Amino acid sequence: MAFTYPYWRESISCELKGSNEDDYSNLIAKIPGPKGSPYEDGIFNLDISFGTQYPFQPPTFKFITPIYHPNIDNSGKICLDLLRMPPCGSYNPAITLESILLSIQLLLASPNPDDPLNSEAADLYKANKETFNIKVRQCISKSSTIPEQKNINDGPAAKRAK
């Protein structure tokens, strides 16, 4: 099963992780880099895990595709208030998966270097944005997936119906 959220240059898409069509606890998302940002030429894969406490606890998001960003560490963890419980964060059970994925995409366009997980990237972003942008593009050229269009009708459930 796959579904897409059209936004900016390409669509954000999600599909089931693994072959069990009844297990929605683990997804893979593909997020295109925002147009006009140094990430615009990349498509970034994220692992999404919904724990047993979901929706009362936020899902876990982790970049699979290596990325150079002030708010994403080398292991792919993301620093975003929306992914943390209050009082330190702003997650609540009414927030949709679509909203979170769009917020992650917006984070790519607008890093917050004052709350970094990758201090080297944050320092470079503050000191020399052009050099930062060059380093981002180099990382993308080495590791980003090739853009592909996913259609909601391309998933395993659609194949069974054909």
Average pLDDT, the chain: 86
Residues 115-140 pLDDT 10s:
999 999 999 999 999 999 999 999 99
Query: Residue 14, SS3?
Result: strand
Position 46 pLDDT exceeds 60: yes
Q: Which residue has the tokens 């080495």?
A: 142
Taking Cα atoms as reference points, which of 43, 35, 37, 86 lies closest to residue 63? 43
Token pair listed for 60? 């876990």
- Give every CB contact of residue 106 below 8 A, 6+ residues apart in sequence: 34
Name, in order, each residue with C-beta under 8 angstroms of 142's C-beta and a sequence gap of 6 or more: 66
| Cα–Cα distances in angstroms (integers) from residue 144 to residues 45, 123, 127, 152, in the given order | 8, 23, 25, 22
Position 30: which residue type?
K
Phi, psi (deg, nearest 5) at residue 143: -130, -15
> Which pairing describes strands 26-32 and 60-63: parallel, antiparallel, or unpaired?
unpaired
Compute φ and ψ for 2, nearest 5 degrees: -135, 150
Q: Token pair for residue 99?
A: 């909203």
pLDDT of residue 22: 85
Question: What are the tens digits of pLDDT across the range 9-33?
Answer: 468 999 999 888 888 899 999 999 9
Give the residue numbers marked as catalytic: 79
How high is the pLDDT of residue 144?
A: 53
Sheet holding 26-32, edge to edge: 2-7, 10-16, 26-32, 43-49, 60-63
Instruction: Give residue 16's pLDDT.
Output: 94
